[in-house]
């Protein structure tokens, strides 16, 4: 499920720009636009979660 207004969902859908470095069926990895260090990469699940740690986006 994708959420309207979620920047990560927009990146997954290809609606927002990102320098993608890895992708598979469940994850997407891309370079941070404000890196804390050279090579700073974000790895996110392709499934939207409302809160960190909430299984299947519930809660």
Tens digits of per-residue pLDDT, 17-30? Answer: 999 999 999 999 99
Percent with pLDDT over 90 in the chain: 71
Mean pLDDT of the chain: 87
Domains of the chain with CATH codes: 7-57 (3.30.428.10)
Q: What is the pLDDT of residue 54?
A: 56
**CA torsion through residues 11, 4, 24, 50, sign:** positive
Query: Other C-beta atoms within 10 Å of 10: how many?
Result: 16
Residue among 34, 29, 39 at smallest CA distance from 8: 29
Q: 42, 32 in Cβ contact below 8 A? A: yes
In the chain, where do the E strands start and end? Answer: 20-23, 27-31, 41-45
For 40, the token pair is: 């700073």
pTM for the structure as a whole: 0.77
């Amino acid at each position: 499920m994708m959420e309207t207004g979620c920047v990560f969902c927009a990146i997954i859908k290809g609606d927002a720009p990102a320098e993608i470095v890895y992708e598979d069926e469940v994850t997407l990895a891309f370079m941070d636009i404000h890196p804390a260090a050279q090579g700073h990469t974000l790895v996110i699940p392709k499934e939207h979660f409302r809160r960190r740690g909430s299984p299947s986006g519930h809660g």
